[in-house]
Structures are given as structure tokens and as C-alpha cells.
Amino acid sequence: MDFTNVKTKKIIMTIYDIIVINLSVILAALVENIELNGFMAILQRSIPVTLVFLFLYKAFEVYKSMWEYAGSKELSKIFGATAIGGISSIAIDIIMSNFGFEISNIEGGNFGTSFYIVSTALILFFTCAFRLSYRFLRRSSRDLRWMFHRTNNRVMIVGAGDMGMIIIKELEANNYRKGKPIVAVDDNPFKQGQSIRGVPVKGSCNDIVELAEKYRIDTIIICIPSATDTRVNEILHICVSTGCHLKISPSVLEMVEGTETKIRDVNITDLLSRPEVKLDTEICKYITGKSILVTGGGGSIGSELCRQISKYSPAKIIIFDIYENNAYVLKNQLDKFYKGFPEIIIRIGSVRDENRLREVFEEFHPDVVFHAAAHKHVPLMEDCPKEAVKNNVFGTFNLAKLAVEYKVERFVSISTDKAVNPTNVMGATKRVTEMIIQYFERKCQNSTKFAAVRFGNVLGSSGSVIPLFTEQIKSGGPVTITHPDITRYFMTIPEASQLVVQAGGMASGGEIFVLDMGEPVKILTLAENLISLSGYKPYVDIDIQFTGLRPGEKLYEELALEDEIGDRKMTANNKIFVTSPVKMDDELFITQLDALKKAESSEIRDLLKVIVPNYHEAE
């Protein structure tokens, strides 16, 4: 017989309860010195009394309780069912007496009030004792198994609240295979010195480093869903310094909604997290019911843009990309989640190909265009400047030209902080795309609202530093950094995409929106934290080596040109700034673009310096 089977457990519990109910009545009769004829009466009433108790236990869902985790709620159920059962047994005796059964006189005979009280109390005692003993034995055996077959994973729980208790229960349910809770910490002074499910709360979050060393902690699980983002970030940085493996729990709401039920590893995004972006739904309604074209829609930024756009119920989203695999995967994801509303359509092609773009515009007549297709890898574009110009500059020109021709309502182009005082070809070409956007805004006389959105590095995007570091760590190192003082601005892909969508709704024409990137992050610190989060010690387990700045690379990035800084204004969203267009000669600009289009690779840099005077190659 499989004793771990739920049905088997219920059968065993039921048989035990039948024995207990009848044994308790017999013991009560002995305590009350009931004579032999009274015992005969007890046998006559045993079947109906037992059935009543079993019915009440079923009605109170006593057999549905998981007694390994029994608490006050389970005990109150069995107490209520047993108390009603005791009262019901009196009614059974009265009914049986009225039908001619020889039952002792209730008021003056052997079955007095004390008999019913004693028998009911004994039933309650034995039913609860068995279940609580089961709970105790299960937990004791689990603790013994952990002692003799340790996973060597000693766990600290950060947060002795509801989520902390849930996580401890989950670890218990898995027989501590995923770790044994040893100690907990909580900032609430009233919880310190107490315990949560037997785990002592030994201090506050400021004591994490000391307690982790004292209790030889291997894993720290952050269980504080109600804490502010700022406080969570502070605690995460404290935990990183312990060198322990870090995990974080979902919020209670996430678990209830089923959006996330697993404890997950802390990642570098958590360490760089900032307050959640709050989108203005009214501003974003320009998307609702419209046909949206996203170029580079299968890429890191483009795919997240499609996800964010989908939330506002557009009629259709056209994913335009030269690489079909990512676009196909994205379509399947969106179709599965949104059930075909909005309609997701893929068209394969390159923004370099004006004829292919025209076919797509003719087929769909998009209302809004998000332009995310671009070559963005700095060193590669230094080696292939003509390709950067073809894709970034003239791909944008082709798209903007058709947007005007087909009377697109809004055109939003994705730019980069590398366009500001560029030191590389990629940055210079992106600055030219910003100028193209402003040129077409003037040319079309507001029939299409053009805007560009400028931001820094996006965490986890393809070709970015995080995936590179992750692969180097997996390979045992070393992690390579170009310079110990190099810094970059970072934001998450969802945050950047959400702000791009909102900036599109704010556009009145020709603006360059600059996203608030927070404080720049030192790449060396980023690498050290990533190594620590991977369970290694920087410079001990995984070395860090400096390779020197690459062609076109600078130590720090900027978000605004010198001419823009004094004219930069905050929008209604305090994470989005807007700059006014820089004055330029449109006829001269077109002449310069014509020359750039015909140029050989060796001429590209010099021509870019003419178009973008603040482009200076890195030394």
C-alpha cells in the first residue's frame, strides 16, 4: 500500500476515526462506571453515532486538510465537528429511546451529562493527537534526513512576514532538498528575537553580513515584497557583499495571480533596478485601434516595443525584420497571450530596400511607425562604416520618406546616447538619423509627427555587455573590461520600451526625447556584482582583465548635446526630457547625404565629420 497516496491517507484517517469514536465512548463508560446493560446500549448506538461523526468530519473538510502543515484553522475545524457530534449523540439517544430501544435514562441514569462531555473530549483528544503526531513525526524525519544527507545549503530568510513563512513552508515541503532555513532577519524590531515556523529571527537587514558568516549561510532568499524598490536595492547590495547565492521571492499578489510562483535567482537587473515606470494610459491611446509598424521588430528593443504596444489594443502590429526566427517566436508569444487581438503580422525585409518598404506600406498603410532597426555594435561598425551608413542613415531616410508619402500619423525613431558628441561611426550615423527625423518634420509640415527617442545601454539586449560577461563567467573567466574607469548608463528593456511608447504620444513634431537614465554605472562594479551573483568571488574564482579601449569607444557617455542642454525641458513624465531641434541648413544637409550615399568606405568618416561637426574619433 502506498502510504504517500492521498486516497490511502484518507482511508487510514477514516479507519482511525471509527476506532477512536467507539473506543472513546467505551472509555467514557468505564470512567462513569456504567453497568453492563449500559454497554449493550452503547453497542446499539455505535453505528448511528459513528456515521454522524464521520459525516460531520467530511462536512467540515477535516479529511481535506494537509496535517503535515496543520495549524489553528485545521484544529478549529475538527473541534467544531467533534463538538457538534457530541451534541448530536444526545439527540441520537433520545430518538432511539422514542423508537423503543433500551437506552438508559438520560436525565437520571447512566448516560448523564458527564458521560457525553467525557466521551466528546476523548474523541477530540485522540483525533487531534494522531494528526499532530503525524505532523511532528514527518517534520522530525525530515530534519533527521537533512542532518544525515545534507545538501550543504544553509539558508537565510530576509523578511519574517507572510512571504517568509510561505518560502519556509515550501522548503519544508521539499524535504529541505533546496536548502534548510537556519536563520531569518527582519527590520521590524518586534519580530527580532522571535521565530517564524521554528526559524529564529536574529537581527535586522543591517546584520546580514555578520549573521551570514556566523551561521555559515550558503543561500540568502529575499522575501520582502512590500518593501520599496530603494530598500530592496540597498538590501541586495548588502547581500552581494556576503558572497552567498542570492534568490528573491515573488510577491504574494504574483503568487495568487499565478504570474510567478517560483523563487528565482537575483540578477544584475535587480541590482540596477529603479522605481517602476508608470505609463500615462491617456497619452498611449494614440495606439488604440491603429495599424502599427515596428521595424527591427524581432530584436531586443523591437520585440519589447511590440509587447508594450499590444497592451493598448492596436488593430494590428506589423513586425518588419530581416531575421525571421526571432520575429516568428515573438508572433507565437503574442498570439498565445492576446488570442489574435491585436493581429500580429510578419513581413521580412530590410529598411535598406525602399521597394520592399513600399510594398509593406502599400499593403498595410500603417498609422504609426516605430523605427528600431539599426546596426548598433560599435567595434563592428568601425570595421564596416559603409554598412552602418546604408542601414542606419539611409534605412531611416527610406522609411521617413515613405511615412510622409503614406501620411503616417506618428513616426518614432530609436536613437542612442552615442549620438551625442560621437567618437565612433555608429554614434555618428545615429546622430545623422536624428537630423533626418527633424528634416522630414520640417518638410512634411506636420502631416506626420516625427520624433526620436535617445537613451543609453539596455540591460540584456543582444550584443550588450551583460550577455558577454555571463558567457565569460560560465567559461571560468576571465571577464574582460576595456578600462577600469569606464562608465555607462543602463536601463531595462521594458523600461526603455515603455518610455518610447509614451514619448510617441507626447510628440508634437521634431523633438528628440531624452530618457532619464539615472546615474551612470561603473562597468567594473557591474562585472564584480555579476561574478558575485553567479556564486564566485571576483579576482579569486573569476579574474577580471583590462584590455584597453576599443576603436571608437569613450570612457563615458552623454545624453545631450551642448546646444541642447540649456534648452532641455522636462515633460509631464519626469523620466522623459525633450530637446528642441538644432538649427540646420536643409538643402545643404540633402547635398551632404547625397555625397555620403556615393562615398567609398575610406571617405565615410570624413563626410560624417562634415555632417556631424562634433564627431571626433576616439584617440
| pLDDT given at position 519 | 78
With 70 as the cut, is the pLDDT of residue 249 above it?
A: yes
User: What is the DSSP-derived secondary structure letter of residue 344?
Assistant: E
The model's pLDDT over 352-381, given as tens digits with 9 standing for 90+, comes to: 999 999 999 999 999 999 999 999 888 899
With 50 as the cut, is the pLDDT of residue 108 above it?
A: no
Neighbours of 606 (CB within 10 A): 9
Gap between the Cα atoms of 493 and 470, Å rounded: 17
pLDDT tier, 134 (very low <50, low <70, confident <90, very high otherwise): low
The model's pLDDT over 164-202, given as tens digits with 9 standing for 90+, comes to: 998 988 888 777 778 889 999 999 999 999 999 889 999
Q: In the predicted model, what is the mean pLDDT of residues 19-29?
A: 86
Based on the number of CB atoms within 10 Å of its own CB, is 534 exposed (0-12), middle (13-18) or buried (19 or more)? middle
Grid cell at residue 305 = 516595443
Yes or no: say if 380 and 353 are a contact pair by the CB < 8 Å rule: no
Q: Give me the residues paired with residue 576 across strands.
A: 515
The model's pLDDT over 50-103, given as tens digits with 9 standing for 90+, comes to: 898 889 888 888 877 655 555 667 778 888 888 998 888 888 877 877 765 555
| pLDDT given at position 24 | 86
Higher pLDDT, 97 or 387: 387
Neighbours of 209 (CB within 10 A): 14
Grid cell at residue 505 = 504620444
Q: How do 487-488 and 264-265 pair as beta strands? A: unpaired
| pLDDT given at position 257 | 47
With 60 as the cut, is the pLDDT of residue 18 above it?
A: yes
Grid cell at residue 293 = 509598424
pTM (predicted TM-score): 0.67
- CA geometry: angle 173, 10, 178, nearest 5 deg: 10
With 60 as the cut, is the pLDDT of residue 261 above it?
A: no
Counting other chains too, the contacts that 243-248 makes at CB distance below 8 Å and 24 or more residues apart are: 243/532, 243/537, 244/156, 244/212, 244/217, 244/218, 244/219, 244/220, 245/218, 245/219, 245/220, 245/535, 246/219, 246/220, 246/222, 246/533, 247/219, 247/220, 247/221, 247/222, 248/221, 248/222
| pLDDT given at position 198 | 86
* Residues annotated catalytic, as ranges: 418
pLDDT tier, 460 (very low <50, low <70, confident <90, very high otherwise): low
Q: In the predicted model, what is the mean pLDDT of residues 293-304?
A: 94
The model's pLDDT over 475-523, given as tens digits with 9 standing for 90+, comes to: 998 999 999 999 887 877 888 888 899 889 988 888 888 877 777 888 9
Grid cell at residue 480 = 574582460
Gap between the Cα atoms of 239 and 217, Å rounded: 11
pLDDT tier, 260 (very low <50, low <70, confident <90, very high otherwise): very low
Half-sphere exposure (Cβ direction) of 519: Cα atoms closer than 13 Å? 5
Q: What are the structural domains, with CATH classification, of the chain?
A: 6-146 (no CATH), 154-266 (3.40.50.720), 283-459+490-518+558-611 (3.40.50.720)
Half-sphere exposure (Cβ direction) of 192: Cα atoms closer than 13 Å? 11
Gap between the Cα atoms of 511 and 480, Å rounded: 38
- Tell me if residue 257 falls in helix, strand or coil: helix
Mean pLDDT of the chain: 84
pLDDT tier, 160 (very low <50, low <70, confident <90, very high otherwise): very high
- Tell me if residue 258 falls in helix, strand or coil: coil
Give me the percent of the chain exceeding a pLDDT of 70.
84
Single-letter residue type at 399: L
| pLDDT given at position 259 | 46
| pLDDT given at position 127 | 86
